[in-house]
Amino acid sequence: MESLAEKRERVRKIMEKFDNMYPEVNCTLNFVNPLQLLIATQLAAQCTDERVNMVTEKLFVKYKDVYDFANASQEELEEDIRATGFFRNKARNIIGCCRMLIDKYNGEVPKTMDELLELPGVGRKTANVILGNAFGIPGIVVDTHAKRLSNRIGLTTYDDPEKIEYDLREIVPEPQWTKFSHQLVYHGRAVCQARKPKCGSCEIREFCRYGQQMKD
Q: Which residues are catalytic?
A: 125, 143
Tally of CB atoms within 10 A around 47:
17
CA distance 64 to 31: 12
Instruction: Tell me the DSSP string of the chain.
Output: ---HHHHHHHHHHHHHHHHHH-SS---SS--SSHHHHHHHHHHTTTS-HHHHHHHHHHHHHH--SHHHHHT--HHHHHHHTGGGS-HHHHHHHHHHHHHHHHHHHTTPPPSSHHHHHTSTT--HHHHHHHHHHHS--------HHHHHHHHHHTS----SHHHHHHHHHHHS-GGGHHHHHHHHHHHHHHTS-SSS--GGG-TTGGG-HHHHHS--
